[in-house]
Amino acid sequence: MNADKFDMGNIDIAWCPGCGNFSILDVLKDSLAELEISPEQLVMVSGIGQAAKIPHYLKANFFNGLHGRALSPATAIKVSSPSLTVIAESGDGDMYGEGGNHFIHTIRRNPNITNIVHDNMVYGLTKGQASPTSRPGFKTGVQINGVVLEPFNPLAVAIGLDAGFAARTSITDKELTKDIIKQAVRHNGYALVDLLQPCPSFNKVNNYKWFKENTYRLEDTHDPSERDRAFSLACKTDKLALGVFYKSQKPSFEENISAGPEPLHEKRLDTDKLESLIKSFAS
């Protein structure tokens, strides 16, 4: 399948020049094309923020909802219509800040969805405040003396919760990003892709060069079934490892609740069964 299947043509894109989102969009389209997913069978779910606009810039079904809430509708969409490919894609503020509680519980629930988080360590849409992943000392118009909060560590949290699939990549390494997105979509269960990206407008510290210099690919010998090792790698933040940290095979949410493969809108109410339930209150 060709990536242009997902092209929106000549549209107005609201991202700043040089934004990492452009490359992410391209890589995403390539990944989906290589996975042979049709736009009609794909649902992109997002919240609010610059990254959350991604569904508007590629051809697919989409549910662009509320700030921090992408994971809740994504879960419900998948369980209501299990044959759809569901990708929840938004930024670090959306998924880890406003949506932190849903992030934790979606990992526990393990729906078969892919969660791509554009992680630029800053709030772009609201013009440059700290995000949950901003690094200590990062100065902004609000954090005037620099960030003092411990950064949120999405990989460590996900591995701590025994996530089905936990990976980090950086858009500075397109090839790896494409490979990881494809693996994540193929994974049965919840898959986290923490996707590092530069924000040229509001994050002058963690720029393209910084990501190049401060990241490295996990070695081929890394075994993603080793949870302890994956957790200790996730806790290392001086240099950031890229790759699939951890994978565990377990039943997805849909499998656990035995919803069946048929979409709910095709199911018909069994009136005989309901009738007998009603009658049980009359005896």
Partner 1 sequence: MNALRSENSGVSIVLCGQAGQGIQTVEKLLTSILKASGWNVFATKEYMSRIRGGTNSTLIRVGSKPVRGFINRIDVLAALDKSAGGHLAKRISPETVIMGEKEVLSGFGDTGSFFEAGFSQAAKDLGGKVYANTVAVGALLRLLGIPAEEVKEPLERFFGGKSDEIIEKNQQALQKGFEMAEKPAEDFGAGLKLSGEPDVQGRMLVNGAQAVGLGALAGGCNFISSYPMSPSTAVLAFLAQNGGGLGLIAEQAEDEIAAVNMAVGAWYAGARAMITTSGGGFALMSEGVSLAGMMESPLVMHLAQRPGPATGLPTRTEQGDLELALYSGHGEFPRIILAPGTLSEAFSLAKKAFDTADKYQVPVIILTDQYFMDSYYNTETFSLEGLKKSSYITKTDKDYLRYKLTENGISPRGVPGFGEGLVCQDSDEHDQQGRITEDLELRVKMNDKRLKKLEAAKAETVQPSLVGAEDYENIIVCWGSNYNIVKEAIELSGRSDTAMLHFSQVYPVPEKAIEKLKRAKKTAVLENNATGQFAKLLKLQLDFEPDEKILKYNGMPFAADALSEKINEMF
How far apart, in whole angstroms, are the C-alpha atoms of residue 67 and residue 74?
A: 13
> With respect to partner 1, which residue has the nearer C-beta, 78 or 168?
78
- What is the smallest separation between the CB atom of 11 and partner 1, expressed in angstroms? 8
Contact yes or no for 165/184 (Cβ under 8 A): yes
* Residue pointed to by tokens 């989409």: 62
Q: Is 192 helix (H, G, I), strand (E, B) or coil?
A: strand
> With respect to partner 1, which residue has the nearer C-beta, 1 or 274?
274
- What is the smallest separation between the CB atom of 188 and partner 1, expressed in angstroms? 19
Q: Is 257 helix (H, G, I), strand (E, B) or coil?
A: coil
| DSSP one-letter code for 11 | -
Q: Select from 276, 196, 189 the least CA-distant residue to 243.
A: 196
> With respect to partner 1, which residue has the nearer C-beta, 60 or 116?
60
Phi-psi region of 9 (alpha: psi -120 to 50; beta: other; left: phi over 0): left
> With respect to partner 1, which residue has the nearer C-beta, 60 or 196?
60
- What is the smallest separation between the CB atom of 123 and partner 1, expressed in angstroms? 18
**Footprint of partner 1 (CB under 8 A):** 39-41, 43, 45, 48, 53, 55-56, 59-66, 69, 72-81, 83-84, 101-102, 104-105, 257, 259-260, 263-271, 273-275, 277-279, 281-282
> With respect to partner 1, which residue has the nearer C-beta, 64 or 153?
64
- What is the smallest separation between the CB atom of 121 and partner 1, expressed in angstroms? 25
Please state the separation of Cα 97 from the chain's center in Å. 14
> With respect to partner 1, which residue has the nearer C-beta, 235 or 274?
274
- What is the smallest separation between the CB atom of 117 and partner 1, expressed in angstroms? 18
H/E run at residue 23: helix 20-34
Cα 67 to Cα 53, 54, 105, 182, 257: the distances in Å are: 12, 14, 17, 26, 28
H/E run at residue 180: helix 174-186
> With respect to partner 1, which residue has the nearer C-beta, 239 or 268?
268
Query: Angle 100-109/71-80 helices, nearest 10 degrees?
Result: 30
* Residue pointed to by tokens 């994540």: 184
Contact yes or no for 44/60 (Cβ under 8 A): yes
- What is the smallest separation between the CB atom of 241 and partner 1, expressed in angstroms? 30
- What is the smallest separation between the CB atom of 283 and partner 1, expressed in angstroms? 8
